[in-house]
Chain A
Amino acid sequence: MNVVLIDLHPHSDPVTPISLANLAAVLRRQGHATDLLSLSSGRPFSPAALRNHLHEKQPRLVGFTAYQRNFFQVRAIARMAKQASPGCRVIIGGPQATFMPEHALTDLPELDFVCRGEGELVIRAVAEAIDGGSIDDAVPGTSTRVSDGSWLRGDPVAPADDLDAYPSPWLDGVLDPADWDEAIMLTSRGCPHHCAFCVTPAAFGPTTRAHSVERVLEDISVVSRRGRGRLWFADPNFSYDAERVHAILEGIAHRGLAVEMWIETRADMLDSDLLRLLARAGVHTLALGLESAVPRVLERSGKAIEPEAIRAAAVTALAAGLDVELFSQYGLPGETREDALQTLRFVQDCGVAVRGNSNAQQMQLYFGSAIIGRPEAHGIRPLRDDLPPYLALGDEFETEWMSRRDMDEVRAAWSAASADGGKRIVS
């Protein structure tokens, strides 16, 4: 069966399509001819070329990673795919899909499957179902449009405890490191913390599951030797297991791999020994989730960490020669305008440059976060009640503590302090 998976970033440069590449690796091992398209403003495409490609391939399944920001284009290309390859089915996965309300699906006639579980397992089941002909039952791990046109919710799928059970797109050659300026690596999934604004625990589970050290080092070896050796770790807490991270970093040094790495972790998962080891192994930037510099705000958001611990980690990391990025946001529950400005001053006081990911953004409310489940309980006041049900509130809100004008003023303050115009890289 021909499958086309599309990674779409209409308004930004291309990034390694790691999630879809994971799925492509599974499908190829199943014997499905799978194309992985990377479409972005940095790798532009013409409508004619895309249509021709879909027409030539005649895929029976087309898949997308859906985000709030690309959802309009995802739908447009899904419709194009169905015209170019009549009978093909469309699946969406990713943050916008996993927790999309069931009732929203009736407004999305171009979709056939919504991935609700671990993609590697779901895509295999979906491909088998399509191969099997008429689909009368929901596919596990999905919402499925069955043969009578109605939507059914499939049983949940239990994700693999051992991530090494999934093939590696780097080792299987789905991704060629030479094609990417920076290779995105995802070596662990899930998070045991309960930040009210975050969807990670709900999407990937409340415990951290990880690839083995050996598998991670094999991936890094390929990327280092064939590519530019620049690695961007998408793990939410790269150093969650001190023993594991030491083994990875020492393995990099032992194998003599020349790499430059960006990692994200929590301040309470670092110590000065580890920071030195990170620097020695080639980590150039350490990103920490600050969110707010006000303990009261952090507590209300369910983020159990002290700002002063973050300051200490940032200062130590800077002294160790690492660049530091502090992720922060405003419009959090319980946060006033003054609180938000205090966060800006905190970042500056830490000696962290306000640029790149250290530019703050307004809290974005996506499906799956604790806040969007009960916005009023968190003091959220939606500014719109006319959004289509398949779109989450995003930043279209004010709070009991900050009006829209307050938000605009805080945004302007951050923008004025920014060294690069205030554009954050990771949303």
Chain B
Amino acid sequence: MERGLGRRRQEDRVVTLSRAPVEWLFLDADAPVGPLSSWLADALEHCAWSCHVVVAGSDGEGRLLGTVVDHLEREEVALVYFHLVADGSFGPAPEVADLMDAAARFQDQAYRERTGARLVPLPILEVAPGADPGPALGTAGELAARLAKPSLLLRDAPDEAMIAAAAALGLRLYLGSNTRDSSLLEILTAAHVLDSTMARLDCAGRLLDPCRAHNVIAGGRVFDCGRQWRRGRSRGGLADDRAPVWQPDASLCAGCIADTVAGTGPSMVANQRKREGRELALRTSSALVDTGAHLAAAEAAVTAVELSQTPEERADALIQTALCRLAAGQLEGADRALLEARVNGAPANLVAYHRAHVQVAWRDDIEALDRFSEALDLGPDSLSAEDLHFEMAMSHIRLEEWADARTHLEQAGRPTATIAFNLGVCDVNDGRAERALVHFDRALELGPAEEDLGRIRFFRGFCLKELGRFEEAVEDLRRSIELEEPELAHHNSLGFCLFKLGRHAEATACFERAVAADPGSAIDWANIGVNLERLGEDERAAEMYRRALGMDGRIEFAREGLERVGE
């Protein structure tokens, strides 16, 4: 009973205010700081009450920090996580000291009120290429003791000692290349995409959704997200847009996440998060497969391979890589990944099974059959012997080896509509229309998928035609034409049955559709001729016979017809 719901009005719902206020602002502080801090003062009002301000560059004279502090004093409900990049090569930088001083006031308040501090300092200490990270580590330790959450941005690849030291202090390591131009904004927005995606790891089906609401402000312009900033697509200037909004172009998100995850291996290693990173990469790969982005899925799977810590994990990730590459048509890469998976201990039968599919994609069913046989001989284990027999049957069907195909289909387990249909196909091609008809009837009884109905109807009609049951055949063939995109064979078979039933006008129309589908089908031109002749249209019939014979002079009935009606 749902009393009351019928009279429910939209305004009765629980109110959530705005769906997604901006939660992260990435500021390129290399732009003129005056207009930026003025913009920030207005923008913070419209950001989430708890938001992150990330200053990628120097906060000249602390004006951005001052703006944030003013906001917090005005808005007692607000909380700001202030990320500030500072040179960490020579100990505490002055702007970090200013940040800690500002935070101290709010820490006192938090202590008094037993609540969280409303200004959370997150200094990012950058270590220049070739510089000793020791002073930065020391500074980070001191900052952590003062309730900051420091992190390090390294321009050189960290060695194991560095990784261990950072882990001991609970520091996050951001990695920036010293050989290519990786700007602070690039590094920090990529980290944001990664964190947002990681936070959704357990939310099935949402992994490729937009990340936590953010804007990027660079060069005096506002960008919806990091991706749009990299593409140079801004929403407007600071003067135009003083209330940040989150309007991500969701069509870009999957690609952005895929790129980020694919490049995350070194960062995950440096932050000792191989396990989570591998999990993320594998799930991202699966999510990308669901969207049909197989190449990107393969790249994510490669990252999972890099982050694997045991041969077993590596083998699993390699199989995923192979399947993505197979789906993307990168067949050599798929086969290589499978062989490598085997070296890492993937079950031999599984590898053989997947390699067989690579061969199928290569259209080499003879090789595919060898691989399927190998998988079967090795013992199916996690594979289903019945599935293997089915796959082998399909290869035999493609090779037109009907008896072999039938043998495997009979071992492919409990009959399904698909198995029954394929048994019918084998029998039709072996000229056993009566037996085939039984299989097609069985396929219909077993409840085939909607999209298979047309095919089954066509073959059933074809059998009936072969058996001379033309009235019934017409019914099935007409139904198949309604259910699937008709091809030449549909029109040809239907036309033949109608001819046999003496329904020459309908037959003519059918064969005309056949030649419309394939104007090079000489036999169908001749079929039109026969039917026109029966309708007494000798002149047009002669023309059709001539056209057919012009294409293929061996059509005997066309020659005879032409003799009868014209020459």
Contact = CB atoms under 8 A, between A and B. Distances in A.
Contact of A46 (B4, B49, B113): B49
Interface centre among A44, A45, A68, A387 (most CB of B within 10 A): A44
A320 to B, nearest CB: 25
A35 B16 CA distance: 10
Nearest to A217: B1
A387 B111 CA distance: 9
Interface in A218-250: 218, 221-222, 225-226
Interface string B21-51: 1010000000000000000000001111110
A79 B76 contact: yes
Interface stretch (A136-144, A174-182, A286-294): A174-182
Contact of B15 (A53, A76, A77): A53
A76 B8 contact: no
A100 interface: no
Contacts of A346: none
A173 B115 CA distance: 34
Contacts of A71: 113, 115
Contact of B21 (A49, A73, A179): A49
Contact of B14 (A37, A41, A46): A37
A37 B244 CA distance: 22
Nearest to A172: B4
A47 interface: yes
Given A221-B1, A225-B2, A48 B243 contact: yes
A28 B14 CA distance: 13
A380 B32 CA distance: 56
A10 B115 CA distance: 11
Contacts of A35: 15
B201 interface: no
A391 interface: yes
B79 interface: yes
Contacts of A28: 12
Contacts of B112: 386, 388
B559 to A, nearest CB: 71
A186 B466 CA distance: 70
Contacts, number: 114
A179 B113 contact: no
A10 B8 contact: no
Interface string B102-126: 0000000000111110000000000
B13 A10 contact: no
A21 B243 CA distance: 32
Contact of A173 (B7, B78, B113): B7
A218 B1 contact: yes
A116 B223 CA distance: 50
B113 A72 contact: yes
Nearest to A28: B12
B2 A226 contact: yes
A80 interface: yes
A11 B5 CA distance: 32
B114 A387 contact: yes
A89 B2 CA distance: 34
Contact of A226 (B5, B13, B46): B5
Given A10-B50, A71-B115, A171 B4 contact: yes
Contacts of B114: 68, 387, 391, 394, 396
A163 interface: no
B161 interface: no
Contact of B17 (A45, A73, A172, A225): A45
Interface string A377-416: 0000000001110010010100000000000000000000
A46 B79 contact: no
Interface in A60-84: 68-69, 71-73, 75-77, 79-80
A47 B45 contact: yes
Contacts of A387: 114
A44 B115 contact: no
B5 A73 contact: no
Contacts of B243: 48
Given A388-B113, A391-B113, A46 B48 contact: yes
Contacts of A257: none
A94 interface: no
A43 B18 CA distance: 8
A45 B15 CA distance: 11
A17 interface: yes
Given A37-B14, A44-B23, A50-B17, A173 B48 contact: no
A48 B5 contact: no
Nearest to B74: A47
Interface centre among A48, A175, A176 (most CB of B within 10 A): A48
Contacts of B49: 10, 39, 44-47, 50
B14 A38 contact: yes
A36 interface: yes
B14 A17 contact: yes
B2 A176 contact: no
Contacts of A172: 4
A44 B2 CA distance: 31
B20 interface: yes
Contacts of B213: 44
Contacts of A68: 114
Contact of B50 (A44, A49, A76): A44
Nearest to A50: B17
Contacts of B12: 28, 173-174
B2 A45 contact: no
Interface string B311-353: 0000000000000000000000000000000000000000000
B3 interface: yes
A36 B11 CA distance: 10
Interface centre among B16, B20, B77 (most CB of A within 10 A): B77
B15 A47 contact: no
B75 interface: yes
B339 to A, nearest CB: 36
B120 to A, nearest CB: 12
Given A72-B113, A394-B114, A176 B13 contact: yes
B449 to A, nearest CB: 26
Interface string B43-72: 001111110000000000000000000000
14 contacts: A10-B79, A37-B14, A38-B15, A38-B16, A43-B17, A44-B49, A45-B48, A46-B45, A47-B78, A48-B46, A77-B77, A174-B12, A222-B1, A391-B113
Top 5 nearest A-B pairs by Cβ distance? A173-B8, A44-B48, A76-B76, A72-B115, A76-B77
Given A43-B16, A49-B18, A68-B114, 17 more contacts: A36-B15, A37-B16, A46-B18, A47-B77, A53-B15, A69-B115, A71-B115, A72-B115, A76-B75, A76-B76, A76-B77, A171-B1, A171-B4, A218-B1, A388-B112, A388-B113, A396-B114
Interface of A: 10-11, 17, 21, 28, 35-39, 41, 43-50, 53, 68-69, 71-73, 75-77, 79-80, 171-176, 179, 218, 221-222, 225-226, 386-388, 391, 394, 396
